[in-house]
């Protein structure tokens, strides 16, 4: 898969967002234009194999990584713990 040319700071931020359990793939797509499958490919390329497997297993069990699964309507990404 051909990934866009990203600078190291952007790659680090995408990895950080993908690693967080609460950040959905939709937020990464909105901010960086990468689809879920592109984020997965980036993670696979940038991480050690064992770390990637551990991350994939964790992501597959989380409904928070997919807004559709938790009934979120597209719009602003905001934690429910955040003050209004």
Model confidence pTM above 0.75? no
What's the rounded Cα separation, in Å, for the pair 68 and 48?
29
Which residues neighbour 14 within 8 Å (Cβ) at sequence distance 6 or greater? Answer: 6, 28, 32, 34, 39, 42
- Per-chain mean pLDDT for the chain: 82
Residue 47, in any domain of the structure: yes
How many folded domains does the chain comprise? 1
pLDDT higher than threshold 90 for residue 14: yes
Residue 21, in any domain of the structure: yes
Domain region containing 19:
8-70
Residue 41, in any domain of the structure: yes
Residue 1, in any domain of the structure: no
Residues 4/45, Cβ–Cβ less than 8 Å: no
Long-range contacts of 13-17 (CB under 8 A, 24+ apart): 14/39, 14/42, 15/42, 15/43, 15/46, 15/47
Residues 63/70, Cβ–Cβ less than 8 Å: yes
Give residue 17's pLDDT band: very low, low, confident or very high (50, 70, 90): very high
Residue 84, in any domain of the structure: no
Residue 76, in any domain of the structure: no
Residue 82, in any domain of the structure: no
Question: If you average pLDDT over residues 21-30, what whole number do you get?
Answer: 88
């Amino acid at each position: 898969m051909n990934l866009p040319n990203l600078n190291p700071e952007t790659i680090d931020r995408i990895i950080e967002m993908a690693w967080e359990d609460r950040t959905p793939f939709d937020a990464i797509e909105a901010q960086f234009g990468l689809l879920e499958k592109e984020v997965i490919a980036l993670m696979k390329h940038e991480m050690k194999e064992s770390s990637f497997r551990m991350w994939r297993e964790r992501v597959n069990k989380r409904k928070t990584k997919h807004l559709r699964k938790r009934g979120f309507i597209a719009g602003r990404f905001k934690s429910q713990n955040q003050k209004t």
